[in-house]
Structure 1
Amino acid sequence: MTTKFCIAFILCVTTGALSVAQTKKIITTKKTNESIVIDANLSEEAWKNAAVATDFVSFEPKNGTPIPAEFTTEVKIIYTNDAVYIGAMLYDPAPSKILKEIVERDEIGISDLFGVMINGYDDGQQEFRFYVSAADGQVDTNFTSTEGEDGSWNAIWQSKAKITEFGWAVEMKIPYAALRFPEQKNQTWGINFFREVKRERQKYTWNPIDNTLGTFSQQAGILSGIEDIQTPTRLFLIPYSSFYLNASDTQKTKGEFKGGLDIKYGINDAFTLDAILVPDFGQTKFDNVVLNLGPFEQQFNENRPFFTEGTDLFSKGNLLYSRRIGQTPDLNLNLANNEDFAVYPGAINLLNAMKISGRDESGLGVGFLNAITEKTTATVINEDDDSKREIVVSPLTNYNVTVFDQRFNKNSSVTFINTNVTRNGSFRDANVTGLLFDIFNNSNKYNFFGGFKSSSIRDVENTNGFNTSLYMAETTGQFRHSLGVEYISKDFDPNDLGINYKTNYYSVSGNSNYRLLNPNKTFNSFRVNLNSYFEFYTPTNQIQSSNFNINTSMSNKKNHSYGAGIDFNPFKNYDYYEPRIADRFFVNPETISVSGFFSSNYNNKFAIDIEPSIAHVIGENRYEAGIDISPRYRFNDKFSLVYGFNYYKQKNDVGFIAIENSSIIFARRDRDTYTNSLTGKYSISSVMNFNLAIRHYWSLAENNQINSLNTDGSLSPYNTYTVNKNSNLSSWNLDLSYSWWFAPGSQMSILYRNNAATFDRTINKNFNSNFTNLFDNNLSHVLSFSVRYFIDYNQAKNWLKKD
């Protein structure tokens, strides 16, 4: 590197760092001892003398331009010994046109929005964000510069919004218990304010955010003036009680009571302990199960609150798939030919779980998660003599994740993460360790990230493996580029607590993209991506996956979004996973596919999403085609419905069905999949809501030609295989729920759920008869009632004093 280049690089870095610093606005707050009522009136004397944050600037689409005078926004801040208060006057020339759809907590809907982003350490890397909608709803998120917004994070705070003759007003009280800040006399916090005018699709911030830069949290303003405040005792108890009434067509009605306790304790100003005793996840969202004919398991979303709230640290390196904890037991055990299961469990019970997480003033983030599941058995019956025996399908198991994440330079981090699964007795144990890095230069223009991970499995046969990767990206400007390489060894196995499908390969990927940073005469937004990916099987260096993709997305002046993409695989791919036997492969020919989408403006009462796609295997009569249509209608600010229909067809699809006499049997098959869904909500208020979710799924796969897999990856006819391996899966789920947030953090919910599923080898292509058969002696019902009550130690001690 030449001296001239070094000087130019240093000047570039310094200029980039200064350009962010130069835009920082400062607001100074004052303390008050006056009692503040959260009513959106801002009538207390303390508000009259508070400094005003104004002169908002467009974030998008017209980045950097001043807010129009008719939408002038004025924000004030005051503080007391236990909370910071925000008051906002949001002017609007047409108050009657302000959009204000009522939705449940943590949903925005079609509504104007005001928000405050607070970073108690002013380190540019973590913000606690609090939003209030014009419909008086609340949304809170935890934002990190590496993971983005985590909407599962929840805090206890107060707010009130109301429509006025000049626009609308917001008043917020955010207790210090909902924030993190250092123990020092004079506080300096990072802060920014946000406003969205929904009908205009315009977003504004108080401190300007330059969208040519890759990070937004570093472009916050400064809040000064807070002095002599104490970090409160953060001890919250959330006892709960639930009652479940279960019934089905084949079993009698049965009732069950459950109760337990969640604990949240602030160990210090930075770290928090969360624990659940006797967990109850009976009211979590149902899984969208599909007919899975491939070699890999279906991955499900995590819906249990404990494993979704504040887990950004634990997601580092993608080594935690929390559905492993308390998962459905694996019943693929080596039973004798004359044995079968008489009684088997539907799930593995979680006994308890706890986590410690947080980040201190020096930027060190620490995460510790531990969970224990109980010993689970099944009953096996000998079909010859009817004798029974108990077998362990899952022993007493401890799951653990430990993370240390050091941030520095306000935009970079180095992470150590370890996951460990220890099973009681002579069962398999697993340990996975990762060392990761995510480095930006000072101007945030260039990003280098990747790491090294290793796994160690202790079982009948001990194995050790590793995974290493390096990615480089340009993250600012209209043109951006990235390049990455990855290598995974044969025995790398994080699947005891993580999820990983492929090993024993190396890959190269690249991306170049262009984006419109500010709207022009035609588009509000416009982006084009060019992607490439090559994956090679290490022992042979054969291509096992490859893809060239170009796609574009845009939105027009009417705020309709649309786009299209083309995928092209110009090479034969050697699939080493579909055959289900090590070192055997199936050769997939070259393919090309085209897809598109259209999404109309959700501000309109009626909107629709349409996504068609088609793919063709070059040189064969083999194709896939699908259509996804989802119309939605908002009847009023309280009631809306969304219908979804998906049809996907595969003609002459090729896949594994069995192994017979050392031959790997494949089939050419036709497959049709129909998915119908309906979601709806009726909101009495922002704290009282009815929700409906219905999903019917039907997928059938009919084998037309049976083949054996040759050693060169080709197929030959195999006419002696006569076992019926057709597949016909139907499932139905319905959830109807009512929830009422009757106090801050406290919720009562009632859920009625019914579900049914059938699987057989008989192909019946009549939709009506399949749908009817799904419910014949197969429908299960659950009615549940749950109450969770939030107790703040700081309030509870005052109750005791009064008593």
Structure 2
Amino acid sequence: MHLRFSQILFAFILLLSIDGFCQKKTLVTKKISENISIDGKFDEEIWSTAQVATDFVMYEPDNGKPISYEKRTEVKVLYNNDAIYIAATLYDDEPDKILKEMTQRDYFGTTDDFAVFINGFNDGQQDFRFYVTAAGVQLDCLSTEGNDDYSWDAIWDSEVAITEFGWVVEMKIPYAALRFSNDEKQTWGINFWRDIKRDRQKYTWNPISLKVGSLMPQTGQLDGIENIKPPTRLFFIPYSSYYAESNQNGTENTFKAGLDIKYGINDSFTLDAILVPDFGQTVYDNVVLNLGPFEQQFNENRPFFTEGIDLFTKGNLLYSRRIGGVPSTYAYGETDDEVALNPSAINIINATKVSGRTSGGLGIGVLNAVTEKTYATINNTITGEKREVLVEPLTNYNVLVLDQRFNQNSSVSFVNTNVLRAGEFRDANVSAIVYDLNTKDNKFNLLGDFKYSFINEYQDYDNRQGINSSIQVGKRGGVWRYNTGVQYISDDYDSNDMGILNMNNYHSVYANLSYRILNPNANFNTFKISTHYYSEFQNTTGRLQRATMDIDFSSTTKKNDFIGAAIYIHPFEAYDFYEPRVAERFSIIPRYIYSNIYFSSNYNRKFAVDVIPELNITEEKDRIAYGLTVAPRYRFNNKFLINYNFFINRFNNDRGWVGYTSDDIIFGQRERRTIINTLGMKYSLNPKMTINLSARYYWSYADYNQYLTLQNDGSLTTNSNFTEFEDSNFSTWNFDLSYSWWFAPGSQISVLYRNNATDFRTDIDNTISKNFKNLFENNLNNIFSVSIRYFIDYNTIKNKF
């Protein structure tokens, strides 16, 4: 009897906790036949009949506090067969103090903003978010838990107006910008957002409790949408571009044209395709002097591979820079040959992706791209004869993702990446099962994966199979949060044909613990302190590869300045199996301590600055590294902003691999210096027209003062005979000046002037002026380009013809 009573009591308490979490506000919308003009006036009579969403609650910093009457917010929603319409009235007791910096699209700036978050499946796992700032700038993103993808751009209308009582927003969001089921009666997840920038206060209509680990399921509901018949989702985006490139070798003019296609297969699934892609105006890469054993990873800046890509990133198997990246092989000449050109990139012939989600919560994504044959050029130094060598055949890249969501907060996914190269070139296939499971109240979490790779080398190598698996359990809600996990990666696991993996053949164990305040106290608006423990062991020998413990904190003061600090301790001697570049050989990693301090002043002020000093000390006292970042910014007015970033780093007696002699592995002891200067300027003529400048000067060198032989026990002994390696002095310059005009919905004219230069030499001059001069004497490359993209809606064409 006692046991039964306890069980009933436990079930009752659990039910209360679940009900408390699941309680949602509901807004009922209504269908209209009237035309609504998006002008920020709300003068259509139908608006007066719409239900009002109000009583907003603070999200940050004082989580759960109701909004004041003076800043009350009222939102209405209507819909027809084409779109949903939103009218928001945002009261403010000091309208003249509303911050409204003007920026380019998808950049917040120092401004108030309003947003609607829409989940057409009401499954708590993906939002389509639409923001409008008080300056009239649009931002949109695809949001999943912990990830907001602002590279995704939809076509929608908005208008704002500053009033004597605050400001207002009117929005029209076509169904083409959303995903939802084809049910006759729809229930959508919806939330409304308001950011009052001068107070650094963020509010939502449906309360979001920071005591709960998962934020996205904490949304309200939109009822009343029935029998909508959205139009065909078929869009064409033709483009044409012109490039004029000049350098010391002459001038080259290039014309390009192509077409992007977006087709709504049904209400839930979309096909995206690019024919003859053009990525000539993408942001430049921040290249560095890389002396380590691993390749440098670059950000993806090509729109097709960034827009709506969240489904394809499940399992972290996709590094999209592989598609159209460097060839998988290199050409090597014979005795009398020299390699005139090993290409640095491969042309993409076409790329397509299909993605969406069924009403049952099954997400399906397929991405496919084809790259062309690529050749290197080799010259015979005696006969002068040139010949071409195939370094990359016709290649197909494919990603398949099946992602089943359930309980509004959990998912299990299957992911497969496949690279097929024509002929006897390497093929690769990697598959993964990925799971993210949460309790009903979203406080406890179990996540992990199991990955399997198969590499077909074809030539004189054996086929290889490997595994990579991890599991983590933890508490993700409340003021105290923690997790612990393990990972195992076998020696033959390899996902680098379509992903990126620097290290394998190890296993690790880790634990994390953190504490935070959920509401302001007497000294801080926000405060978080955390500690992390990590140990990593090589599989073959069991030797320790890495062991760190750290503690860091971050906080926001009552004046909204950000202050943080961290200290990382590596308390044990460990072994590096990657730096020697030879299997089973290792070097010793000494004990060390790294620390930094971070200060960022409130960006609401016209002048603000970030300052980050850092220090790294090893047990070998002559090996010390230190650095400093200083980044001031000044906002002249709501249209003009300038920011500058200066970084300097110095590493005394750094040590690393330089080469081989017979059976010896040679390391070098070097003085390393790095200086980076970046400058950015933004001038917004209006919310759809912006001029931007971005410049970066990077200089880094390694000055070797001693060469060393790596011993079998990982120690280093002096080598006085090695003379083959020389110092490294590397500089790069990038300058972009661009003009962008969104002259029609989804249509853009971009004008870009770019110049860049790279200089590498083995002689070192410690004066920055000399290196700057050498850089510009080494073939400065100038590019002027104009690109026009025009958005065509099939329905518009159909109605005209």
Contact 1:478 1:514 (8 Å CA) reproduced = yes
TM-aligned CA distance change 1:506 to 1:344, over 3 Å: closer
Aligned: 1:634 with 2:632: no
- Give 2:737's aligned residue: 736
How many Å apart are 1:9 and its aligned residue?
A: 7.2
How many Å apart are 1:662 and its aligned residue?
A: 1.4
Q: Which amino acid aligns with 1:94?
A: E
What pairs up with 1:226-305 in 2 under 5 angstroms? 226-248=225-247, 250-305=248-303
Contact 1:325 1:350 (8 Å CA) reproduced = yes
How many Å apart are 1:330 and its aligned residue?
A: 5.4
Q: Distance in 2 between matches of 1:202 and 1:33?
A: 37
Aligned: 1:367 with 2:365: yes
What pairs up with 1:260-659 in 2 under 5 angstroms? 260-329=258-327, 332-459=330-457, 460=459, 461-659=462-660
Post-superposition CA distance 1:640-689 (Å, at most 9, x none): 01100000100000100011111100011000000000011000011000
- Name the Cα RMSD after superposition: 1.4
Aligned: 1:763 with 2:761: no
Unaligned stretches of 5+ residues in structure 2? none
User: Which range moved further: 791-800 or 128-137?
Assistant: 791-800
Unaligned stretches of 5+ residues in structure 1? none
- Give 1:17's aligned residue: 18
Query: Secondary structure of 1:218's partner?
Result: coil
Give identity over the alignment, percent: 53
Q: Distance in 2 between matches of 1:306 and 1:261?
A: 12
Query: Secondary structure of 2:217's partner?
Result: helix
Aligned: 1:159 with 2:158: yes
Contact 2:214 2:477 (8 Å CA) reproduced = no
Q: Which amino acid aligns with 2:67?
A: I
Query: Secondary structure of 1:637's partner?
Result: coil
- Give 1:786's aligned residue: 787
TM-aligned CA distance change 1:712 to 1:142, over 3 Å: same
- Give 2:662's aligned residue: 661
Q: Distance in 1 between matches of 2:715 and 2:565?
A: 33
Post-superposition CA distance 1:223-282 (Å, at most 9, x none): 11122211321111100000001101x222121100000000011111100000000000
Contact 2:331 2:389 (8 Å CA) reproduced = no
How many Å apart are 1:627 and its aligned residue?
A: 0.5
Q: Which amino acid aligns with 1:502?
A: M
Q: Distance in 1 between matches of 2:237 and 2:376?
A: 34
Query: Secondary structure of 1:772's partner?
Result: helix
Aligned: 1:697 with 2:686: no
Q: Distance in 2 between matches of 1:385 and 1:785?
A: 43
Q: Which amino acid aligns with 2:234?
A: L
Aligned: 1:92 with 2:92: yes
Query: Secondary structure of 1:795's partner?
Result: helix
TM-aligned CA distance change 1:715 to 1:5, over 3 Å: farther
Q: Which amino acid aligns with 1:219?
A: Q
Contact 1:260 1:278 (8 Å CA) reproduced = yes
- Give 1:210's aligned residue: 209
How many Å apart are 1:385 and its aligned residue?
A: 3.6
Contact 1:12 1:443 (8 Å CA) reproduced = no
- Give 1:174's aligned residue: 173
Contact 2:234 2:262 (8 Å CA) reproduced = yes
Q: Distance in 2 between matches of 1:456 and 1:663?
A: 33
- Give 2:39's aligned residue: 39
User: Which range moved further: 330-339 or 391-400?
Assistant: 330-339
Q: Distance in 2 between matches of 1:136 and 1:741?
A: 13
Q: Distance in 2 between matches of 1:766 and 1:167?
A: 55
- Give 1:58's aligned residue: 58
Query: Secondary structure of 1:16's partner?
Result: helix
Q: Which amino acid aligns with 1:423?
A: R
Contact 1:13 1:443 (8 Å CA) reproduced = no
TM-aligned CA distance change 1:3 to 1:252, over 3 Å: farther
TM-aligned CA distance change 1:494 to 1:6, over 3 Å: farther
Contact 1:13 1:441 (8 Å CA) reproduced = no
Q: Which amino acid aligns with 1:192?
A: N
Post-superposition CA distance 1:546-586 (Å, at most 9, x none): 11010011010000001111110011111000001111000
How many Å apart are 1:153 and its aligned residue?
A: 1.5
Post-superposition CA distance 1:499-552 (Å, at most 9, x none): 001111100011000011111111000000100110000111111111101001
Query: Secondary structure of 2:17's partner?
Result: helix
Contact 1:751 1:783 (8 Å CA) reproduced = yes
Post-superposition CA distance 1:346-400 (Å, at most 9, x none): 4210000000001111000000000000000011123244333221111110000
Query: Secondary structure of 2:250's partner?
Result: coil
- Give 1:188's aligned residue: 187
Q: Distance in 1 between matches of 2:768 and 2:781?
A: 21
Q: Distance in 2 between matches of 1:493 and 1:477?
A: 38
TM-aligned CA distance change 1:11 to 1:280, over 3 Å: farther
Q: Distance in 2 between matches of 1:518 and 1:574?
A: 44
Query: Secondary structure of 1:491's partner?
Result: coil
Post-superposition CA distance 1:65-111 (Å, at most 9, x none): 11011101111111122111000111111111100000011111100
Contact 1:473 1:482 (8 Å CA) reproduced = yes
How many Å apart are 1:140 and its aligned residue?
A: 0.7
Query: Secondary structure of 1:42's partner?
Result: coil
With the length of structure 2 as denominator, give the TM-score of the two structures: 0.98
Q: Distance in 2 between matches of 1:252 and 1:658?
A: 37
Q: Which amino acid aligns with 1:158?
A: D
Contact 2:340 2:377 (8 Å CA) reproduced = yes
Q: Distance in 2 between matches of 1:109 and 1:588?
A: 43
Q: Distance in 2 between matches of 1:41 and 1:716?
A: 78
Q: Distance in 1 between matches of 2:452 and 2:13?
A: 37
TM-aligned CA distance change 1:13 to 1:439, over 3 Å: farther
Residues paired across the two proteins, number: 796
Q: Distance in 1 between matches of 2:221 and 2:262?
A: 30
Q: Distance in 1 between matches of 2:12 and 2:148?
A: 32
Contact 2:331 2:342 (8 Å CA) reproduced = no
Q: Which amino acid aligns with 2:207?
A: P
- Give 1:220's aligned residue: 219
Q: Which amino acid aligns with 1:597?
A: Y
Q: Distance in 2 between matches of 1:660 and 1:15?
A: 72
Q: Distance in 1 between matches of 2:150 and 2:10?
A: 38
Contact 2:645 2:677 (8 Å CA) reproduced = yes
User: Which range moved further: 345-354 or 192-201?
Assistant: 345-354
Q: Distance in 1 between matches of 2:334 and 2:446?
A: 53
Q: Distance in 2 between matches of 1:650 and 1:6?
A: 63
Contact 1:370 1:400 (8 Å CA) reproduced = yes
Post-superposition CA distance 1:154-194 (Å, at most 9, x none): 11100001111111010000111111122122221111111
Q: Distance in 2 between matches of 1:362 and 1:501?
A: 37
How many Å apart are 1:332 and its aligned residue?
A: 4.2
How many Å apart are 1:10 and its aligned residue?
A: 5.4
Contact 2:100 2:134 (8 Å CA) reproduced = yes
Aligned: 1:106 with 2:106: yes
Query: Secondary structure of 1:219's partner?
Result: coil
User: Which range moved further: 434-443 or 183-192?
Assistant: 183-192
